[in-house]
Structure 1
Amino acid sequence: MKETEEKRSVLQEAEAYVSLIQTDGVNNPVDIDVDSYTMQLPEWYDEILFKRAQDFYFKNMFAMMAGKLCGLLAVLAVPSILKILICTKASSNSCTAYKRYIETIFHTNSWYENDLKPGSRSWKSLEAVRKGHIMASKYTEKKKSGFISQRDMALTQFGFMGYIILKPDKLGIQVSNKDFEAFVHFWRVIGHLIGIQEKYNLCTDSYRTTKLRLELVLDKVYRPLLEETSNDFMIMAKALIEGLWCLNPMLDCDAIVYFTKWMSDCKNYLYYESDTRAADVDLDESRKIIQSFNWYTRWIIFIQITSHTYLANFFLFRWYFNNQVWLNQYIIYWFPFLAFYKFGIKNSYVRILRGTK
């Protein structure tokens, strides 16, 4: 009886949180200006947990990069965020998307790679990201395209860590509950430092309560949006994937959109019959979706899903995949030859925190 009441209480808290970001969170900007806040570590920061999350990332780079890519794609389905991205024109074509999302990868890498303390590279990266959000928000508000709200930030936070926690089996992540406790703490800290107020922070002090929030955000926000995507979503998704093709030439827009919808349990986006989650799922319709793609896209989908659900469970394959991700990022930093071909040498080199060691 006590356990049932506890579960009910946790569920009610998660439902209240989703309601909060969908109402109050819409009207509250992430920051007003650079003088409106002071960046400092929260009093509940735990360095041991934070570093465990960093180690967890490097053990699962391949799977986590895929989870993050699905999250970034899903974020494009949120109308308020999509409107801001279209207005800023920072990722509206493959070249600008290449620069924006490679920068995003470099920034998140700096958070995973460095000690988190004032003056460190990761700290300077977080400062730059937070200031960038302020500038973008002011610009879009001036253009009457809205501002970056606390809701937008919380939903974007989901993009970086939601699928990783909710779909470890589909991604091939090797994890324990202690790893996830550390990972939740990591993103709670990151959310705090980039300006998400505590009441809007998707991550709590507990993996259990955070996971329930994530499940509700997926059920009530992301899945409905991904099942009814707009033309603007597909335009921006194509720009994102064509840009990141220079990082990984195995990327295909239709395949990644399918993979994201499969990851989100969208209706009829099934690959294995065991994916069925509801009585009204039509297996014939799911087969038609797959068959609507050309042979190359179907092949990429097969490679993606097989690599994550099966091969990544074996140490040798996981080691190879992780090192392939590291190699791709090394090449894109020092000699981005595919970007040379696609965008020209001048537009190919991407750097963050110029002049910072």
Structure 2
Amino acid sequence: MELPEWYDEILFKRAQDFFSKNMFAMMAGKLCGLLAVLAVPSILKILICTKASSCPFTAYKRYLETIFHTLCWYEDELKPGSRSWKSLEAVRKGHIVSSKHTEKKEAGFISQRDMALTQFGFMGYIVLKPDKLGVQVSNKDLEAFIHFWRVIGHLIGIQDKYNLCTGSYRTTKIRLEHVLDEIYRPLLEETGNDFIVMAKALIEGLWCFNPLLDCYAIVYFTKWMSDCKNYVYHESDPRAADFDLNDSRRIIQSLNWYSRLILYIEVTAHTYLVNFFVFRWYFNNQVWISQYIIYWFPFLAFYKFGIKKSYIRILKGMKEGKGN
């Protein structure tokens, strides 16, 4: 791997600071993105074939590793030999191994399109829906964040012509809107049984990281985030006039009481509470605490998977710090 000639260290570090100030909101955006990726048939087929995230334990392992890798990118200096660099090398190698395996099984391979759609999962909602997530952002922050993911995409093997992130906020936003409007929204409006099975595994696995997660609440939240038809939570929503609110209410009422409660908490926290500094500080610190607990003493995972299987580590052989 080599840093691209257009790499800007100042922008990259600004994006890291931006994440630190909005960790709670941005982690929620990434969770919605990971869930949305499961709606892409080519990616879902590969995940089912590899059996790497099709049950709660494998999902716990896979997605916790994903969290640790991304936190590493956001926290560490990006240079050859650093933990962040080793993490990106490991991810890139993992993609190659998985792609070869699924090709042999005739289940397809990890294409540039799949990698670009996965890139959207990590940053698309944060750029397009900061108001729904409660991300406190400026235009300069967005430019830095886009540069960050342009660099990450380049280093994990996305060719520049397929990279959703460009050197311009305007062109990047156009690309992201196109992906959401033409790919993700139609797919999320027509999700099937395989999607629900994998989504349940994802949420049940990450329940050990955040016990307030609920599959049906998060699926609704993701479809609401994606502006899917009839997924309108508030009557004051600007999109409310475009749909039958009775249909929207029926979708919500079809959820059990606990899912409705978690959905209410999620929407209230992200659209209202997180806009206040005190709540934002509290929620961000809860994420930091959860990160430490899941790394050093994952007691909820002890209960679900046993002590030995609960400890997840990346970058074996290197000196690891918090969350890695």
Report the TM range for the smaller structure's normalisation: over 0.9
Q: Which has the larger radius of gyration?
A: 1
RMSD: 0.8
Structure 1 distance, partners of 2:43, 2:241, is 33
Runs of 4 or more above 4 Å deviation: none
Structure 2 distance, partners of 1:277, 1:195, is 38
Tell me if the contact between 1:92 and 1:236 (Cα under 8 Å) persists in the aligned partners: yes
Q: 2:38 aligns with which of 76, 87, 97?
A: 76
Structural mapping, 1:111-126, within 5 Å: 111-126=73-88
Q: Structure 1 pair 208/182, CA: closer, same or farther in 2 (3 Å)? A: same
Q: Secondary structure at the match of 1:146?
A: coil
Q: What's the counterpart of residue 313 of structure 1?
A: 275
Structure 1 distance, partners of 2:153, 2:236, is 35
Structural mapping, 1:52-71, within 5 Å: 52-71=14-33
Q: Secondary structure at the match of 1:105?
A: helix
Q: What's the counterpart of residue 134 of structure 1?
A: 96
Structure 2 distance, partners of 1:274, 1:229, is 27
Unpaired runs of 5+ in structure 1? 1-38
Q: What's the counterpart of residue 296 of structure 2?
A: 334
Q: What's the counterpart of residue 171 of structure 1?
A: 133
Deviation string, structure 1 residues 64-90 (Cα, Å, up to 9, x no partner): 000000000000000000000000000
Structure 2 distance, partners of 1:204, 1:175, is 19
Q: Secondary structure at the match of 1:274?
A: coil
Structure 1 distance, partners of 2:313, 2:47, is 21
Structure 1 distance, partners of 2:237, 2:99, is 39
Q: Structure 1 pair 279/314, CA: closer, same or farther in 2 (3 Å)? A: closer
Deviation string, structure 1 residues 113-162 (Cα, Å, up to 9, x no partner): 00000000000000000000000000000000000000000000000000
Q: What's the counterpart of residue 184 of structure 1?
A: 146
Structural mapping, 1:128-167, within 5 Å: 128-167=90-129
Structure 1 distance, partners of 2:71, 2:165, is 20
What is the CA distance between 1:275 and its match in structure 2? 2.4
Tell me if the contact between 2:29 and 2:123 (Cα under 8 Å) persists in the aligned partners: yes
Tell me if the contact between 1:254 and 1:297 (Cα under 8 Å) persists in the aligned partners: yes
Q: Secondary structure at the match of 2:236?
A: helix
Q: What's the counterpart of residue 202 of structure 1?
A: 164
Q: 1:266 aligns with which of 210, 216, 228?
A: 228
Q: Secondary structure at the match of 1:275?
A: coil
What is the CA distance between 1:277 and its match in structure 2? 2.6
Q: Structure 1 pair 54/298, CA: closer, same or farther in 2 (3 Å)? A: same
How many pairs align? 319
Q: What's the counterpart of residue 322 of structure 2?
A: none
Structure 1 distance, partners of 2:246, 2:236, is 14
Structure 2 distance, partners of 1:282, 1:218, is 22
Unpaired runs of 5+ in structure 2? 320-324
2:6 equivalent to 1:41: no
Deviation string, structure 1 residues 237-289 (Cα, Å, up to 9, x no partner): 00000000000000000000000000000000000123243754111000000
What is the CA distance between 1:305 and its match in structure 2? 0.3
Q: What's the counterpart of residue 253 of structure 1?
A: 215
Larger mean Cα displacement after TM superposition, 70-79 or 294-303: 294-303
Structure 2 distance, partners of 1:185, 1:241, is 30
Q: What's the counterpart of residue 214 of structure 1?
A: 176
Structure 2 distance, partners of 1:278, 1:335, is 45
TM-score, normalised via structure 1 length: 0.89
Q: What's the counterpart of residue 228 of structure 1?
A: 190
Q: Secondary structure at the match of 1:81?
A: helix
Q: What's the counterpart of residue 284 of structure 2?
A: 322
Q: Secondary structure at the match of 1:45?
A: coil
Amino acid at match of 1:245: W
Amino acid at match of 1:216: H
TM-score, normalised via structure 2 length: 0.97
Q: 1:93 aligns with which of 38, 55, 80?
A: 55
Q: Structure 1 pair 202/151, CA: closer, same or farther in 2 (3 Å)? A: same
